Amino acid sequence: MARILIADDDELIAELASEVLIDAGHACGWVTSAEAAWDCVHRKRPDVLLLDQAMPGESGLSLLRR
């Protein structure tokens, strides 16, 4: 079981992806901004990050570079 964090500004996509991963036996959560993802990464230390490339404010790639 992996701890997975999804960061996507499209709530429907994030929620659906999360449900699929939970059904597959993983612990999964989602957020809708890069800033919220950054906070979760520090608090929960996920094993995997799924990042949207085109989020408002900061892209997934920019977050990954932090």
The answer to whether 7 touches 30, Cβ cutoff 8 Å, is yes
**pLDDT of the residue at 10:** 97
**pLDDT of the residue at 18:** 98
Q: Does pTM top 0.85 for this prediction? A: yes
**pLDDT of the residue at 5:** 98
**pLDDT of the residue at 1:** 94
**pLDDT of the residue at 66:** 84
Spell out the CATH class of 3-65: alpha beta
Question: Residue 27 belongs to what H/E stretch?
Answer: strand 27-31
**pLDDT of the residue at 64:** 87
Domain range annotation of the chain: 3-65
Mean per-residue pLDDT pooled into runs of 10, the chain (66 residues): 97 98 98 96 96 91 88
Q: State how far the Cα of 22 lies from the Cα of 65, in Å rounded to an integer.
A: 27
**SS3 assignment, position 57:** coil
